[in-house]
Structure 1
């Protein structure tokens, strides 16, 4: 029986677009994802990704079959935004500097929580 709003029990286990089952579902739930609200689409097919991008993001398909979408003002890589947790197992194995910037564990946890909070506002997670 499916509970209202639970998107994870309504799909059969043989559905190729939905493979989050058992221990994986528990892993995401334990990490703080609101499993009653979000719909995780792990390893979605190319067709599913195209369909969702066209329906939800305004993407179009080129005459050659490529998916076209515009990213807005923020484009490309952002190498100066890379952070690595500075802790016992990493401190002597990373070339620290302007690209590999130190981050303490507390700051990492705060950023992780912020990211999960944001993802919990989305309907679909890929």
Structure 2
């Protein structure tokens, strides 16, 4: 769940830029201790953030990337969110969060689907950058 939280935070930042209070500032403590009370709200809000990214042609590919990351992460989670996490699980949440924050992000040119080579193209797709 920590990985999912990091992706939701990154989607917010991509859609809205620098804010006074980010998802992490407002919800990290509650999300890491009582996920069932926070994640439904975060996922609803992320739908809005992804819609903002989809509206702009330059960030449409980034929105698709975030959607795929969210899909991949949620596929590995249980169907029901735990009401509370014990200390060990809170530690796992933190490790997942920081691990995901430092994974590869799409390069700026990779965020635009129009800049991607087609299936018949001899070009190599842009690599992800750290």
Using structure 1 for the length normalisation, give the TM-score: 0.29
Name the one with the larger strand percent.
1
Whose Rg is larger? 1
Name the one with the larger helix percent.
2
